[in-house]
Amino acid sequence: MHPSEKEFADLLDYYQINYLYEPRSFPLRWDGSRVVEMFTPDFYLPEYDQYFELTTMKQNLVTQKNRKLRRVREMYPEVNVQLLYRKDLMRLMGKYGFGPLSGVSVEGTERVLFDEALVQRRVRELGAQITEDYAGEEPVLIGVLRGVVVFMADLMRAVDLPVQVEFMEITHYGEERQESLDVIRDVTTDLSGRHALVVEDIADTGLTLRYLREHLQAKGPASLRVCALLDKSVRRMTNVRLDYVGFEIPDEFVIGYGLDYGGRYRNLPYIGVLQPLEPKAVAQR
């Protein structure tokens, strides 16, 4: 394995995701009956029926790879294959507790994406929608520490229903590399027969939500939905359903309104894009 493949494999292990390494080759061109070109994606995730191809190459080589990938998609339309670029990997690794962001010095906000008034208005709209959808019920709002605290504090006050609020904590992109994702602090309310609504500040790869859904579903709630303030769907690695979304955001590192960089900026009242001093080195989260 290439070192980046090893890192990706470690990440999948962390999230307890099964994978197969290079399990299959797709013939792309033949000379008579002889295969002269084929494509062997690096990873296959059976639970998602998803292939991943990692690339750490120079741009001109990536272009070739992209061409190959297009051909795979044409010839094997039923096959889901995604290319992960070097920057994608760096971002994932950065989240995982090590990586390029840790060494980058930052100034603050490069630009404001959603100002305070806009965020507040959107949160009120989400609250009104939740109030309508759960009319007559007493939902349990479940937040995952720590990024969610600001959003949760505003959202719960925008919901005009009796609600219960719970916070969970999971091992998560810490300083130390964790063996695997785990719940450190669980909900204390009995969820069986209750309407559970997971509240998240951001859905990025979606892996946290996938894990949470599974974990909470096992507690037998009457319903289980997800409300995420920010949806960076372009980064999604797994299909997770988001029932309520505040804003769709571009593939940039965002801070403020609970979201941090290195523990800072959570208390900004707006949501902004991080200003790196070494713009080229920046990676997500």
Task: Give the residue numbers annotated as catalytic, written as ranges.
Answer: 204
Determine if 204 is a binding residue for ligand PRP (CB under 6 A).
Answer: yes
| Closer residue to ligand PRP (CB): 39 or 261 | 261
Determine if 86 is a binding residue for ligand PRP (CB under 6 A).
Answer: no
Determine if 252 is a binding residue for ligand PRP (CB under 6 A).
Answer: no
Determine if 260 is a binding residue for ligand PRP (CB under 6 A).
Answer: yes
Dist. CA 261–CA 179, nearest whole Å: 23
Q: What DSSP character marks residue 264?
A: B
Q: Which of 90, 200, 226, 261 binds ligand PRP (CB under 6 A)?
A: 200
Q: Which of 147, 221, 246, 256 binds ligand PRP (CB under 6 A)?
A: 147
Give the x-and-dash track for 31-50 against ligand PRP (CB under 6 A).
--------------------
| Closer residue to ligand PRP (CB): 166 or 201 | 201
Q: Pick the closest to residue 42 from 91, 77, 7 (CA basis).
A: 7
* Strand pairing category for 244-248 and 223-231: parallel
Determine if 53 is a binding residue for ligand PRP (CB under 6 A).
Answer: no
Q: Which of these ranges, 3-11, 38-46, 127-135, 142-150, lies near ligand PRP under the rule CB under 6 A? A: 142-150
Determine if 172 is a binding residue for ligand PRP (CB under 6 A).
Answer: yes
| Closer residue to ligand PRP (CB): 76 or 270 | 270
Q: Pick the closest to residue 165 from 194, 125, 136 (CA basis).
A: 194
Determine if 17 is a binding residue for ligand PRP (CB under 6 A).
Answer: no
Answer whether 38's CB lies under 8 Å from 28's CB. yes
Tell me the number of residues near ligand PRP by CB under 6 A.
19
Dist. CA 172–CA 248, nearest whole Å: 23
Dist. CA 123–CA 180, nearest whole Å: 33
We find the least distance from the C-beta atom of residue 12 to ligand PRP, in angstroms, to be 13
Determine if 144 is a binding residue for ligand PRP (CB under 6 A).
Answer: yes
Determine if 202 is a binding residue for ligand PRP (CB under 6 A).
Answer: yes
φ, ψ for residue 55, nearest 5 deg: -140, 130
Note every long-range contact of 163-169, with CB atoms under 8 Å and residues 24 or more positions apart, other chains counting: 163/138, 163/139, 164/138, 164/139, 164/140, 164/189, 165/140, 165/141, 166/140, 166/141, 166/142, 167/142, 167/143, 168/142, 168/143, 168/144, 168/212, 169/144, 169/145
| Closer residue to ligand PRP (CB): 69 or 224 | 224
User: What residues make contact with ligand PRP under the rule CB under 6 A?
Assistant: 144-148, 172-173, 200-209, 260, 285
